[in-house]
Structure 1
Amino acid sequence: MADTAAARVPAAYVPPPRGGRYENVLLAVLFATFGFVFFDRLALNFLTPYFKDELGLNNAQIGLLGGIPALTWAIAGISVGYLSDRVDRRKPLLIGAILTFTLFSALSGLVGGLASLLLFRALMGAAEGAVLPLSQPLMLHSSTPRRRGLNMGLVQGSSAGLLGGVLGPIVTVWIAESFGWRAAFYATVIPGLVMAALVLWLVRDLRVRHPATVAVDDEVGPEDTASGWGAVLRHRNIVVCLAIAVFFLTWFLTTQTFTPLYLVEVKGFGPGEVGFVLSGIGIAWVLWGALVPGISDRIGRKPTMIGFSAVAAVSPLAIMVIDSPGLLFGALVLTYTGLGCFTLFMATIPAETVPRAVMATALGLIMGVGEVVGGFVAPALAGQLSDVFGLGAAMFVSAGAAVVVTLLSLALTETAPVRVRR
């Protein structure tokens, strides 16, 4: 299969370079692209207080809206990751995904009720789910080993935190207050088109099975001719990361979906206070999204996962017990460490475990399984529990999920180059 695929690629193909100027250019483009993905995805959560009553939604339906993009994100992540490994192409698929999720994010502003909003958010999630399995192999290939975890963390963690977590609540709440919540969705068209143009202009395609790529990729993942799901699932780390993904996505999406409502309906915070507190989550996302993978480059992936997952369990409890917006802001900056762990179990550890020819398949599978159960089922369940027991139930679900991740991380096998060499 590898020989057949390579034969279809022109002999003049030159793989993207590793290190140097291109490493930084690629990092900047993918940082902006995945950050904008989360700007789109989280905009719904920040706008919920504005359209909940207008559309006549209850907490269970809000949970469903938070979860439906996760379901389609999962399906797309699994299928596109597998497809990109089969056809050995990434750049064209990435451009198509960016244009598609931009379109359906903007169309979310035209909805008149739950059904149409569910449809557009589902289609948007399907396009967004393709971005990570396509982006991280590009970043992994062009990163020097000493910056591998850091670069992948900046792409997946800090970018989402800066654009989705820090700027997202500020910009979307301001637009909603000034022009209405529908305008906040319309505004996503321009940055989406810019991102697609940057990928087209600056990013070089990666074909991991081409002999020219294999010749320079000896430090990136084990070389193997195996392909398909069997080549992925036979590795212990992949099975453990699949389980971790389920519970860490539960922690993440349950917190993201219900925190704005909790702050408004339980704490009685005003729009400005909600935006301020949520920006604390975004700052933590940016900070820990880079620091956690960078620390793992030095002390190892496993101890990093264990320590920072335990800290992440504190953040939903802080939301419940701290009533001061200023103190809650500071507590979330210090404890919202989980998004840095996402890069490790969803990208870095799998990429360092499986053969490079099935790297995107592994990344898409882990992301997909986590999104289906932790991203789709868990928020809907948390919404139902909140309708019965109050919104505090969602926070307890989130904290408990992070505790389970801490225990699962004990079963990981170390993959960090610095620890493996030792």
Structure 2
Amino acid sequence: MTSHSAPKLAWTYENRLLLILFMTFGFVFFDRLALSFLFPLMSAELHLTNAQLGMVSSALSLTWALSGAATGAWSDARGTRKPLLIAAVLGFSICSALSGLVAGFVSLIAFRALMGIAEGPVLPLSQSLMVESSTPSRRGMNMGLLQGSAAGLLGAMIGPPVVIGMATAYGWREAFYVSCIPGLLIAFCIWRWVREVPPGGVRHAQAEGAATQAAGGTTVSRWALLKERNILLCVLISCCFLTWFVVIISFAPVFLVENRHLSPSGMGVVMTCLGAAWVLWGFAVPAISDRIGRKPTMIAFALIAAVCPIVLIHGDSVWALGTLVFVTYTGLGCFTLFMATIPAETVRPRAIAGALGLIMGAGELMGGFVAPTVAGFAADKYGLQFAMWMSAVGAILACVLSFALVETAPAVLRRRALACAAARLDTQNVGGR
């Protein structure tokens, strides 16, 4: 193979990998969010309360967090990702279908907890594969498309009309059954076309692992990762921003139906606008950060995201709600930055999956496990508006923490280095006169 064809092959593989992982993580959220969209239809038959909805969301987040953190660290230590990713996709597809068999709260929470075990490893494994195959100039956009836009397009934009339409026509159980089919097809695509090592590349983790072993070192521990300022901040931001996300995505559908008195189809319109914003901001925010920097992007768009749950409380009509949600639902673009891009630019390659799993796991434990349960019990006592305000506070805290981040964007660091070099040259010229 010529030197010219090798970069071309790598570029082609980069796009193919992006497409497959885009579909993979998109359907993770299609399955994860299906419960929120179907809950207004399920609650009457199964006699479920808002507190129980929060507990089900919390159970999935707990197992997601533990599974993701453990699998990410294990993957870094063993240098294995592809087989684990295939197993995870098959697992969450089967568990999603099993959700259609539930007879009550206990079986529902059990099946969703199993689904969290399967879904947890998907993001750290996918982002680890993607960052290794991405060209530096496309890193932020690629990771934003994979994590932000994929979940928005398939989970929050296509998901509501498809899931609600199927449930209305055939029943909510049948909607769960059918949801497993795309996952089985995706697992085949990963097995057939995804490589453990990109074309023409050398596994960073293996190369560094060999160097570490020769030096008598060991795998990077979680405590060592937390000593990195950006990693610690990303862990804290994840706890706050996951509160914003999980609370709003869990309670917005039932809030719109019960408090804002929208029909299921009207609720579907608003949630589809939320999904459209997810798609747009999911790649636009990381792409903007490639140019202006990770830190200012996080500050600005986290603040805008805090407005979104407030919009749901005060918006007048379906279309006003949809428009304002589209403008303000910017947080999922930030997710790519603190959960993937900033950590990948902070730690050594052999620790990326472990760092991503740690950040995601901590966020899911606090924002995904604790927050929905608290919000659910509070919603039953004080009203569903409490959940919306709780979501807004989470985004505000994430904005405040972002002020302490250390910039990692390659383009910004390069401009700063050039500016410093120019300043030193000017000083030398002045001193030589």
TM-score band, normalised by shorter chain: over 0.9
Q: Does 1:124 align with 2:120?
A: no
Aligned to 2:350: 357
Q: State the TM-score, normalizing by the size of structure 2.
A: 0.90
Q: Does 1:299 align with 2:299?
A: no
CA offsets per residue over residues 361-413 of structure 1, 9 Å max, x none?
Answer: 10000000000110011011011111111100000000111111110000100
Unaligned runs of 5+ in 2: 1-5, 198-202, 212-216, 417-433
Aligned to 1:405: 398
2:209 and 2:221 map into 1 onto residues whose CA distance is 20
Shift of 1:323: 2.5
1:131 and 1:17 map into 2 onto residues whose CA distance is 28
2:61 and 2:253 map into 1 onto residues whose CA distance is 19
Aligned to 2:424: none
Shift of 1:47: 0.2
Q: 1:75 corresponds to which letter in structure 2? A: L
- After superposition, residues 178-189 of structure 1 pair within 5 angstroms as 178-189=169-180
2:224 and 2:81 map into 1 onto residues whose CA distance is 20
2:346 and 2:205 map into 1 onto residues whose CA distance is 17
Distance 1:300 1:82, change over 3 A: same
2:274 and 2:9 map into 1 onto residues whose CA distance is 33
8 Å CA contact retained: 1:276, 1:325: yes
Distance 1:409 1:120, change over 3 A: same
Aligned to 2:425: none
Q: 1:45 corresponds to which letter in structure 2? A: S
Shift of 1:230: 3.4
Shift of 1:19: 4.6
1:227 and 1:117 map into 2 onto residues whose CA distance is 37
1:352 and 1:289 map into 2 onto residues whose CA distance is 19
1:90 and 1:65 map into 2 onto residues whose CA distance is 29
Shift of 1:359: 0.8
Distance 1:205 1:270, change over 3 A: same
1:122 and 1:368 map into 2 onto residues whose CA distance is 14
Distance 1:97 1:69, change over 3 A: same
Q: Residue 319 of structure 1 is aligned with which of 303, 308, 312?
A: 312
- After superposition, residues 89-168 of structure 1 pair within 5 angstroms as 89-168=80-159
Aligned to 1:283: 276
8 Å CA contact retained: 1:81, 1:360: yes
Aligned to 2:165: 174
Which protein is bigger by CA-based radius of gyration?
2
Answer with 16-25 or 84-93: which moved more. Answer: 16-25
Aligned to 1:331: 324
8 Å CA contact retained: 1:19, 1:143: no
Identity of aligned residues (%): 55
Q: Residue 207 of structure 2 is aligned with which of 186, 205, 211?
A: 211
Unaligned runs of 5+ in 1: 1-14, 216-223
Calculate the aligned-residue CA RMSD, in Å: 1.8
8 Å CA contact retained: 2:206, 2:350: no
Shift of 1:209: 2.7
CA offsets per residue over residues 192-233 of structure 1, 9 Å max, x none?
Answer: 110000101110014433339999xxxxxxxx9762223311
2:110 and 2:150 map into 1 onto residues whose CA distance is 27
Aligned to 1:387: 380
1:229 and 1:317 map into 2 onto residues whose CA distance is 36
Q: 1:327 corresponds to which letter in structure 2? A: A
Aligned to 2:420: none
Q: Residue 228 of structure 1 is aligned with which of 218, 221, 224?
A: 221
Q: 2:137 corresponds to which letter in structure 1? A: R
8 Å CA contact retained: 2:77, 2:219: no
8 Å CA contact retained: 2:208, 2:350: no
* Equivalent residues, number: 400
Q: State the TM-score, normalizing by the size of structure 1.
A: 0.92
SS of the equivalent of 2:158 reads: helix
SS of the equivalent of 2:220 reads: coil
SS of the equivalent of 2:204 reads: coil
SS of the equivalent of 1:414 reads: coil
Q: 2:114 corresponds to which letter in structure 1? A: L
2:366 and 2:208 map into 1 onto residues whose CA distance is 39
